[in-house]
Amino acid sequence: MPLAFVLLNVETGVEKEVLENIKKIPEVKASYVVYGVYDIVVMLESDTLDKLRETITKKIRGLDKVRSTMTMIVMGD
């Protein structure tokens, strides 16, 4: 199963709000508010790479108050 980590930058002060919306996405296996360059780290798992890509582009990047993302797809085991 394809696995990816997505790093998000969100608008200031809405980290917890965005995190709660991310946790509603079925493909999200873990998500955390973090300190540093990024605001939220998300681990996703999906049946196919296409489904994973759709989750990132439509369900995560489409969330209100998400400014930018960086995706890292895990290569094999």
From the CB of residue 31, how many other CB atoms can be counted at a distance below 10 Å?
A: 21
Q: What CATH number labels 3-73?
A: 3.30.70.920
Residue 39 is encoded by which pair of tokens? 């605001």
pTM for this prediction: 0.93
Q: Return d(Cα 20, Cα 63) in angstroms, integer.
A: 11
Residue 28 is encoded by which pair of tokens? 């999200």
Q: Return d(Cα 21, Cα 63) in angstroms, integer.
A: 8
Cβ distance 13 to 67 under 8 Å? Answer: no
Tens of each residue's pLDDT in the chain, 77 residues:
899 999 999 999 999 999 999 999 999 999 999 999 999 999 999 999 999 999 999 999 999 999 999 999 999 76
